[in-house]
């Protein structure tokens, strides 16, 4: 689940191409399967993310990929975008 979220955030923040997002998301689901999540769980997921060691103060940071083989560290994502990424993942499993 977290990898698909990070792929979506990579698309939105670092301009990972949509085709790459879709291809890698499909591949990850084939390997790791699908996990059912509900909107009511989004806040709990977000709260867990706020405790990650990559964060700085109140900033929720991610390591994202602008393209395959490249990384962009400490990419800040706000709560609204994280919830959007959770919605994206939810759409993959329905």
- pLDDT tens per residue across span 70-87: 999 999 999 999 999 999
* Strand pairing report for 61-64 and 72-76: antiparallel
Q: What is the DSSP letter of 51?
A: T
Half-sphere exposure at residue 14, Cβ-oriented, CA atoms within 13 angstroms = 23
pLDDT for res 1:
66
Which SS3 state, helix, strand or coil, does residue 66 take?
coil
- Tokens 């999540």 correspond to 37
- pLDDT tens per residue across span 40-77: 999 999 999 999 888 888 899 999 999 999 999 999 99
pLDDT for res 34:
84
Answer for the pair 81, 12: CB distance below 8 angstroms, yes or no. yes
- pLDDT tens per residue across span 7-22: 999 999 999 999 999 9
Query: pTM for the whole thing?
Result: 0.90
């Amino acid at each position: 689940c977290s990898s698909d979220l990070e792929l979506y955030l990579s698309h939105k923040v670092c301009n990972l191409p949509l085709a790459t997002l879709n291809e890698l998301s499909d591949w990850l689901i084939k390997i790791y399967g699908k996990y059912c999540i509900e909107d009511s769980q989004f806040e709990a997921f977000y709260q867990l993310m706020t405790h990650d060691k990559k964060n700085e103060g109140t900033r929720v940071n991610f390591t994202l990929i602008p393209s395959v083989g490249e990384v962009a560290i400490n990419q800040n994502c706000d709560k609204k975008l994280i919830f959007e990424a959770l919605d994206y993942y939810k759409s993959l499993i329905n």
